[in-house]
Chains A and B, each alone.
Chain A
Amino acid sequence: MTTTVQDQDKQQHAGNAAIERAATYYRLKADVEDFYYHEADLLDDRRFRDWLELLTDDIGYFMPIRRNVKFGQQAARENTKRGEGISWFDEDKWTLTKRVEQILTGVHYAEEPLSRITHMVSNVQIKGARPDIEAARELDVTSRFLVYQNRVEYETYIFVGRRNDTLRLTDDGWKIARREILLEQNILLAKNLTTFF
């Protein structure tokens, strides 16, 4: 497990020489944005099984816990690490599938009745392309999210943060191979994290 994580991390930082912002970049960026809008539709339309189809089988889905650290220690200590200790999410496809199955039982009371959720995605930038931008099979993409959740009557949560994704081109189009979700909170100010980010 750990080696996979490290390999993926290494890979993400390889081949990230600044990408020229020319026609190819913007065409690709438009594709990625469309992909994210489609993904948001699937989640907000509660088509959770279809959403799972957008994830590669080896997906790493990770939301660290953010900590208050001394200046200068942010890089080393601010976020809990993927592959070690406890985070909010450090998941593979199996657990994500379980989460979907759980909602679909109709008796997962934390999502029964279903919450009303809207995913907003913005600030999309392609930060890396492999093997290169012209023939990209894998992309490192950063974005911002704003997720609004309203539950039952009065319960409302707003989750805001950043996503660092690796997208992979497959026969079925782009899929998410890795997602890091940086929620801008220290102590979680929500009773639950029942939504996907």
Chain B
Amino acid sequence: MPLRNDFDQLVDVKGGFISREIFVDADIYRQELDKVFTRAWLLVGHESLVPNPGDFYTSRMGEESVILCRDKKGEIHVFLNSCRHRGMKVCRYEQGNTSLFTCPYHSWTYTTDGKLQGVPLHRTLYDGVLDREANSLVSVAKLCNYKGSIWATWDKDAPDFITYLGDAKIHLDQALDCRDGREGGSEVIGVHKWVFPANWKFAAENFLGDTYHNPSHRSVDLIGIGPSAAAGKKGRRDDELEKAQHVWISFPEGHGVHSAIQPEANEYIESFLDNPILEKYFRHCFEERKRRLGEGARLLPFVGTIFPNTSYHGRQPRGLCAWHPHSPTSTEGWRFFLVDKDAPKEAKEYLRRYYMRYSGPAGMTEQDDMENWLYATAASTGTVARRYPFNYQQSMGAYVTDHPLGGDVSTQVTEQIARGFYRRWTTYMQGGDWHELLGSPAGSRQAAE
């Protein structure tokens, strides 16, 4: 049995074996909360959830509740949702508008920029002692509004978000940019939140280009729930990538994506046989995007995970997921569903219905994912089971390192992305510095291969 704290032994990237301990062990989980979740950039929400001054949305970072809030001046903040006095959760509403957060316990109040304002009986009880400034709500160290999506980190030494993204940026962009190629412009039309009994890494890894699990979605492919299903098309999506060269990319920061490159001709592929209005709209978006991005329009996103726990679906059903750790064997899934803010009504109506039937605990596709994650976690907790590592040997060495998209690029289904993810996870767990966490120097990368 591998030594509990010897992460190099637990994660054998070279041999392609990863210990089950990292998916079930309580000590390793506690260490993750500290070493991964207080350092990495985490998805908190989206600016469209807090459009006006005083708007707030309660979110999570790791296991902890945070408040995403737009102050009176319009600036966005993220605070730990815990009073500085005795820790009471100062905001137990999901969303709203306020000028003050009033703690229910002893009524300290905080302004929307996090400052401690009201302290009952201040003059009698605290005069000359209590420093209000030093008792503001605890703020994240860094925050980034990236094309409307809000990210934060507790580590003041973390690199800026764009540096953190590295070459994964262009892929995340495809999820955040307008369908017609304009930058940004998305809005959240709803959020799913649910708890499932699996380690958070199962979900993160699922979106790291684990295209190999496709057979588990056979039922939904057999019946057909895509945008041309009523016209008799089987499958769960559209056919837009049918001629594309799929690419699976592992990035040194631990991110991984499955994207696709359309053929040079890059022609629109009819996808909305069930609705001529949508067909026209999406064709228009396709042509506009091609006009705006030229060659760049050939790159289309599929899925990806930004290290550690943010995943996206870049086309349909488009959205951002945060896999919040709850316990070694339990995760709270949040999915922010995205549309173009200025998409026509018919498109939004179609998309929201498609998202609901595809995604999350009530979604016909993802229900089967949850089944996999639960029983894979449950069957890995046993004393004997833990002695046998998971096999990660798929497509060993089948990638190039000189592709213009950067990273390790594979043109076949590969666990190279998962290997890269856990290699970086190991660096975090070993307390690596930011130089190492970003995957440099190249020397260390060679050694790990």
Contact with B along A62-87 (1 / 0, CB 8 A): 01010111100100000010001111
Q: Which of B359-405 contact A (CB under 8 A)?
A: 361-362, 364, 367-368, 370-372, 374-375
Residues of B within 8 A of A88 (CB): 356, 361-362
Contacting pair B356 A89 (CB below 8 A): yes
Would A189 and B223 count as touching, CB distance under 8 A?
A: no
Inter-subunit contact A68/B197 (CB<8 Å): no
Q: Which one of A97-105, A116-124, A138-146, A172-180 contacts B?
A: A97-105
Task: Mark B218-236 against chain A: 1 for CB-CB distance below 8 A, else 0.
Answer: 1110111100011000000
Select one of B191, B223, B367 contacting A194, CB under 8 A.
B367
Residues on A with C-beta less than 8 A from B332 are 187
CB–CB B189/A69 < 8 A: no
Q: Name the one of A84, A109, A188 contacting B195, with C-beta atoms under 8 angstroms.
A: A188
Question: Interface on chain A toward B: helix, strand, loop, or mixed SS?
Answer: loop
Q: Which residues of A contact B193 (CB under 8 A)?
A: 65, 186-188
Question: Do residues B352 and A68 form an inter-chain contact, with CB atoms below 8 A?
Answer: no
Contact with A95, one of B92, B94, B357 (Cβ below 8 angstroms): B357
Contact with B along A145-164 (1 / 0, CB 8 A): 00000001001000000000
Chain B residues lying within 8 Å of A69, measured Cβ to Cβ, are 93-96
Cβ of B353 within 8 Å of any chain A Cβ, yes or no, is yes
In the complex, what's the smallest C-beta–C-beta distance from A150 to chain B, in angstroms? 14
CB <8 Å contact, A105 and B219 = yes
Interface majority SS on B: helix, strand, loop or mixed?
mixed
Tell whether A98 pairs with B371 under 8 Å between CB atoms, given A65-B190, A188-B194, A191-B196. Answer: no
| Residue from B196, B219, B356 within 8 A of A86 (CB atoms) | B356
Which residues does chain B contribute within 8 Å of A110, judged by CB atoms? 367-368, 370-371
Bound complex: CA A152 to CA B372 (Å): 13
Q: Is the CB of A87 within 8 A of B195?
A: no
B163 on interface, CB distance cutoff 8 Å: no
A98 touches B189 (CB 8 A): no
How far, in angstroms, from A35 to B79 measured CA to CA in the complex?
A: 52
How long is the Cα–Cα vector from A40 to B189 in the complex, in angstroms?
Answer: 34
Chain A residues within 8 Å of B223, by CB: 98, 101-102, 105
Contact B197 A191 (CB under 8 A): yes
Cross-chain contact B361 with A188 (CB below 8 angstroms): yes
Task: List chain B residues, Cβ under 8 A from A135.
Answer: none
Q: CA A163 – CA B77 in complex, angstroms?
A: 39
In the complex, B133 has a CB within 8 A of chain A:
no
Q: Which residues of B contact A80 (CB under 8 A)?
A: 190
Are A107 and B218 closer than 8 Å at their CB atoms? yes
Which residue in chain B gives the minimum CB-CB distance to A112? B219
Q: Is the CB of A68 within 8 A of B361?
A: no
B353 surroundings in chain A (CB, below 8 A): 90, 95
Interface size on A, residues (CB 8 A): 41
Q: Mark A1-26, 1 if CB is under 8 A from B, else 0.
A: 11000000000000000000000000
Highest count of chain B CB atoms <10 Å: which of A89, A101, A191: A191
> A105 touching B222 by the CB < 8 A rule?
yes
Please determine whether B371 and A109 come into contact, CB atoms closer than 8 angstroms: yes
Residues of B within 8 A of A191 (CB): 194-198, 361, 370-371, 374
Q: Contact at A105–B230, with CB atoms within 8 Å?
A: no
> How close is A2's CB to chain B, nearest CB, in angstroms?
8
Residue B31 at the A interface, CB < 8 A? no
B264 interface contact, C-beta 8 A: no
- Of A1, A65, A85, A111, the residue contacting B189 (CB under 8 A) is A85
Determine if A108 is an interface residue (Cβ-Cβ < 8 Å): yes
Question: A86 touching B371 by the CB < 8 A rule?
Answer: no
A108 and B195 form a contact (CB under 8 A) = no
Contact status B219-A187, CB under 8 Å = no
Q: A86-B352, A87-B356 given as contacts; is B337 within 8 A of A107 (CB)?
A: no
Say yes or no: is B192 at the interface (Cβ < 8 Å to chain A). yes
A86 touches B368 (CB 8 A): no
Residue of A86, A98, A152, A194 with most partner-chain B CB within 10 A: A86
Determine how close the nearest CB of chain B comes to the CB of A165; give it in whole angstroms.
19
A131 CB to nearest chain B CB (Å): 32
Which residues does chain B contribute within 8 Å of A169, judged by CB atoms? none
Collect the chain B residues with CB atoms within 8 Å of residue A70's CB.
93, 96
A86-B190, A188-B193 known; A109+B94 contact, CB < 8 A:
no
Find the residue from B197, B198, B332, B367 having the highest chain A CB count within 10 A: B367
List chain B residues, Cβ under 8 A from A155.
374
Known A86-B190, A190-B194: A67·B95 in contact at CB below 8 Å: yes
With an 8 A cutoff between CB atoms, is B355 at the interface?
yes
Partner of B219, one of A2, A94, A109, A152: A109
A108–B218 CA distance with the chains assembled, in angstroms: 7
Docked complex Cα distance between A63 and B192 (Å): 13
Chain A min CB distance to B134 (Å): 30
Given contacts A110-B371, A152-B375, 15 further A-B contacts (CB under 8 A): A1-B349, A67-B95, A68-B92, A85-B352, A91-B357, A95-B353, A98-B229, A107-B222, A109-B371, A110-B367, A190-B194, A190-B195, A191-B194, A191-B197, A193-B361
Residues of B that sit less than 8 Å from A by CB: 92-96, 189-198, 216, 218-220, 222-225, 229-230, 332, 337, 349, 352-353, 355-357, 361-362, 364, 367-368, 370-372, 374-375
Please give me the 4 A-B residue pairs with the lowest Cβ-Cβ distance, nearest first.
Answer: A86-B190, A110-B367, A188-B194, A108-B219
9 contacts between A and B (CB under 8 A): A68-B93, A87-B356, A98-B364, A101-B223, A186-B94, A187-B194, A189-B195, A190-B195, A193-B361
